[in-house]
Chain A
Amino acid sequence: MAVRLDKPWIPLQAAQVAHLPGHLGVYQLADSTGEIVYIGVAGGRSAFGLKGALQEALQAPPAAATQFRYEVNMAYHTRHLELLQAYHYDHGRLPVGNLDIDASTLGRLRLG
């Protein structure tokens, strides 16, 4: 499995979100230029999995997000962590919507 999430972006719109699965997993939100602005997780306490998480994002898009992509993944906990670490490796910081996370406690990947 590739470390970075590399899927096409989907418009963050009600019609698109309505067709999402209720599975658990991870997702990314991006602005109109494709810049990742938030990396999220639909974990075991979420009522409607990815669909519920992205419906919330639709109601109040973090950091002006307009697009999303997702990955169904039962190992959502470690996958979320890995995506955050990969982004930090690539950019030297976390996405603007994840700045509440203390990057120093996150762990470090050096992807090469």
Chain B
Amino acid sequence: MDLALSEAQRMIVDMVRQFVREEIVPLEEHLDPDADELAPADYHRLVEQAKAMGLYGLDTPPEYGGPDIDLVTRCLIAIECSQHRAGLYAPCYYVFGGARQAQLFEATDTQKERYLYPMLRGEKKVFFALSEPSGGSDPARAIQTRAVRDGDDWVLHGSKLWISGADRADYGLVFARTGTETGRSGVTCFIVETAWPGFNVRRIVHTLRSAKYATEIQLEDLRVPHTNILGEVGGGFAIANDRLSRQRIPYAAECLGVAIKAHEMAVQYAKIRETFGAPLASRQGIQWMLVDNEVDIRTARWLILDAAARADRGEPFRTESALAKLVSAEASGRVVDRSMQIHGALGVAKDLPLERWYREIRIRRIGEGPSEVQKHVVARDILGAGLR
């Protein structure tokens, strides 16, 4: 595979890199080290800049007004957008349009009018509720939230956990078991409005990260119209699974962006920091750490762009997506850890972004499918369908 960037890709990468360096990083000097939002005036100003750059709505298909970019280019942008303190979970503070619930593109025309277009216009916020206290890695079997038909409605009852943004959302996608089947075919996706009686956000779940924080939801006799089913009854798992496979690749690219920046900082610091009369960079122990960083970064980059290229060519990419996510999350964690070690005590201080990246990159080995699940996916594909 040729990893060389096209002229257009090079221009986009340079433009986004300059944007992060000149617009985002200076603002962070005045924000709390754990901040996940810009001041409204800064946010709106930068959204206009993103629109002027032709990059607003990055994850929106061109037919709905998004930029016409392929997944490789999307990953290249993700690598650049995460190279600042909040970049892993709040890349460029969402001024490029933030995360979208891509499943809503599968909505009916009526549903699109009410739910998709307001989301695309940035007027409404949306959440995605798949995981439950009983598990998230194997949702087809773990989902215990039930939906029971009652006339023109369905009545939902259950709990959802690790749900980002539910406390601020206007509506969201909730997956519930509608059939007696225990596997994939018994799961249905509902569009649920947060103002409806029975929808309760019980708490914020405090974790290592502050951006895109998680919440716990309780659904208590929540009535949802039948017309708010997204897709078909029993077809919810396919909707969820499509999203997870495709989004793993830019997700992996965000990890890589942080690793690249941490490594860059480590290289610079090793050159200027002196111990025992010589720069750190002159020590073999430090040199090998930097080399290990380089190996991790190049390996992850190759796998990410390979997976994205396969998806762009319309080829199967499930294994490649899993490998990219697995390797990037693990390797980027190692890079941040080594870079922190090279910085010594300064590395763990809130003066630098390394401590935030260290906390947040740890979550990446678990989020969007833990490393072990990615290995499980790859193993299934290596060993054949008989193991499923």
Contacts and interface: CB of A to CB of B under 8 A. Distances in A.
A5 interface: no
A78 B32 CA distance: 12
B206 A79 contact: yes
Contacts of B35: 77
Contact of B202 (A73, A105, A110): A110
B362 to A, nearest CB: 14
Contacts of A73: 206
Interface in A72-110: 73, 75-79, 81-82, 85, 105-110
A73 B34 CA distance: 13
A77 to B, nearest CB: 4
A8 interface: no
Contacts of A81: 204, 213
A107 B213 CA distance: 12
Interface string B182-207: 00000000000010000111111011
Contacts of B34: 43-44, 76-77
A55 to B, nearest CB: 19
Interface in B332-388: 350
Nearest to B208: A75
Contacts of A85: 167, 204
A110 B168 CA distance: 12
Interface residues of A, number: 22
Contact of B203 (A76, A105, A106, A109): A109
B32 A43 contact: yes
A15 interface: no
Nearest to A81: B204
Nearest to B350: A44
A111 interface: yes
A78 B204 contact: yes
Contacts of A106: 168
A75 B210 contact: yes
A110 B201 contact: yes
29 contacts: A1-B206, A43-B32, A44-B32, A44-B33, A44-B350, A45-B33, A73-B206, A75-B207, A76-B34, A78-B206, A78-B213, A79-B204, A81-B213, A85-B167, A85-B204, A106-B168, A108-B167, A108-B168, A108-B194, A108-B201, A109-B167, A109-B202, A109-B204, A110-B199, A110-B200, A110-B201, A110-B202, A111-B203, A112-B200
Interface of A: 1, 3, 43-45, 73, 75-79, 81-82, 85, 105-112
Given A3-B203, A85-B204, A108-B194, 5 more contacts: A77-B32, A107-B168, A109-B201, A110-B202, A112-B218
